[in-house]
Amino acid sequence: MMKRMIALLCAAVLFLSAAAVSFADEWERVDEAPGPEERVEENEENDPEEDPEEPVEEGEETGPADVFENGAAQDIFSIPEDLQVPSQEDALWLRIGLKYGSSAVSASICECQDGFYIARIEDGEYVLTHDLTMYSAVACMPSDGGAALLGSDGTFITFLQSDQMLLSAAEDPDERIITIDEKQYRDGVSYIAAGDVLTVINRITLEHYLLGVIANEMGAYYPEEALKAQSVAARSFTVANLNKHRYYGFDLCDSTNCQVYRGVSSETVQTTAAVQATDDLVMRSEGKIASGMYYAYSSGHTLNSEDVWTTSSSYLKGITDEYAGEYIWRASVSFDTIKGKLQDLGYRPGDILSVQVKERLENTAVRSILIETDSGDITVEKWSVVSALGGSSLVKSQFFYIGNSDYPQADDVLEGTVYTTGKASYDADEAFCVLGSDGIVHEIAVEDAYVTNGKTTLSAASQMNSSYSDEIAEDGTVYFTGFGFGHGVGMPQVSARNMANAGKSFRQILQYYYTDITIEHYSD
């Protein structure tokens, strides 16, 4: 079916190019794809210059000029008055961007074994406008500023406006599954045509959306109460961040910029049970929905939101995390990489001469760094520190220490059991002897001694954790030893797991990491 429709789309391009000329006045031309600085506007309808001269006879092939009359689809696609379709009352409908900006597509294929309706969301509920249950597969492509729907044989069906969606025609709302470009999603899809590309948007209810989120954000093997806490946090984040991507024409994207969403394929029995067990529950603070920020690993402290971003939130306050698991990471980043990252952030740095920590918070997180260049000094603060030093794939949190030289790798350290000989303790400027498993005694300066477990290497001249110290990196590379993974604000997911394993409920977990919140039903 897919290969056949792709071939038909190619032929349909020529068909639409010619047929859509008569509709040039009906659809506003959008010359460029929407970007961050542009608000997506809906197409405006005008009366066509001419009405069809002859009605469509039964069995006759239809085209754009056949199915439109006075700017609207004819009754062959209208909803019968006696049609009864179960509704989802009081559901919050979301717009989740799947393909947009540089990933926008020139054509999209949608399949559903139950067929489709075209619907419009009004007052939180959908209103059916077209009956397309005779189609199990349709294609959508931009045509003269509109999103044109085609049947599997390439014939034109109708134009889908940006405030309309293709909705699965399954009677049971929980069985409404559609395939959008070979990936399964729930509920429906809408398109925004701009120039010669389409923005693809999954139109979905809040609870159905969460089914495709939770397993991507927290492993399905996590304990039940942790998964419930994640469900409430994610639901709260979703509601609090509606319209985050409004300039693209949708609410949230499907990536880590919002929440990782992969549709039906990522749903699991465990995560579905957690979403359903917390149905409609959100966190509130001072009468408003609390944005349930969360991240992976705690360093032992969480951070105030204003220590990471610009906005202070009463419920996102830093605490000492008693349930944090140990997470130590190491990284090295070249001066050239840092220079490129600074340019991405809008700076105009010269060649970098040195990098050092400028200021720390009381909980030891880095508040700012100083980067000396041959064209002047640059101070970078808060989460931009991570971005400037290589991004979160390298520098995983604001809890780190800077070194000017690297610890030796495990291969450079004596293998096997090592026994010390002589005194029980040494001064930093002394040397001591070790007996290796090879039977040979080695004299080593304290400053050159290291301990490793094959993954993490620590200096014998320094102590664990709090006694780490910073150096000024001057030799072309910055070496990091850090703790925790993520922005540090809100709920650390591994800590939530540890709390659940300790017998804490999802409510206790949420109230531990979010300050003075209440947990209530969103519909209330």
Token readout for 121 is: 């969301």
At residue 152, the pLDDT reads 85
Task: Please calculate the CA angle 142-175-264 and round it to the nearest 5 degrees.
Answer: 65
CA-CA-CA-CA torsion sign (77, 80, 83, 88)? positive
Cα separation values, 483 from 113, 218, 334, Å: 50, 20, 20
Token readout for 148 is: 């044109």
What CA–CA distance (Å, rounded) separates 181 from 146? 19
Q: Which residue has the tokens 């809906």?
A: 42
What CA–CA distance (Å, rounded) separates 241 from 251? 8
Of the candidates 260, 153, 237, 139, which has an alpha carbon nearest to the alpha carbon of residue 189? 139
Of the candidates 220, 213, 190, 239, which has an alpha carbon nearest to the alpha carbon of residue 92? 239
Burial class (CB in 10 A: 0-12, 13-18, 19+), 492: buried
Token readout for 71 is: 């700017």
Cβ pair 194, 100 in contact under 8 A: no
Q: What pTM value is reported for the model?
A: 0.77
Of the candidates 454, 363, 372, 464, which has an alpha carbon nearest to the alpha carbon of residue 416? 454
What CA–CA distance (Å, rounded) separates 265 from 411? 42
At residue 124, the pLDDT reads 75
Backbone dihedral angles phi then psi of residue 421, each to the nearest 5 degrees? -125, 150
Task: Please calculate the CA angle 37-38-41 and round it to the nearest 5 degrees.
Answer: 165
Taking the CB of residue 344, how many other CB atoms lie within 10 A of it? 10
139: left (phi over 0), alpha (psi -120 to 50) or beta: beta
At residue 58, the pLDDT reads 38
At residue 445, the pLDDT reads 74
Cα separation values, 108 from 26, 176, 246, Å: 23, 19, 22
Taking the CB of residue 363, how many other CB atoms lie within 10 A of it? 18
pLDDT along the chain (524 residues), means of 10: 50 42 32 33 34 37 36 52 65 94 95 94 84 95 90 90 93 95 97 94 97 96 98 98 94 96 97 97 96 96 96 96 93 96 94 96 96 95 95 94 72 49 56 70 70 51 53 94 96 97 98 97 88
Listing DSSP states for 266-322 in one string gives G--HHHHHHHHHTTTEEEEETTEE----EESB--SB---GGGTSS---TT----B-T
Of the candidates 280, 230, 238, 273, which has an alpha carbon nearest to the alpha carbon of residue 96? 238
Mapped onto helix, strand or coil, the DSSP state of residue 329 is strand
Cβ pair 397, 483 in contact under 8 A: yes
How much of the chain is in helix, strand and coil states, percent to nearest 5?
25, 30, 45
Cα-to-chain-centroid distance, residue 87 = 29
Q: Which residue has the tokens 């990284």?
A: 331
Cβ pair 238, 516 in contact under 8 A: no
- β-bridge pairing 146-150 and 137-143: antiparallel
Of the candidates 287, 261, 130, which has an alpha carbon nearest to the alpha carbon of residue 208? 261
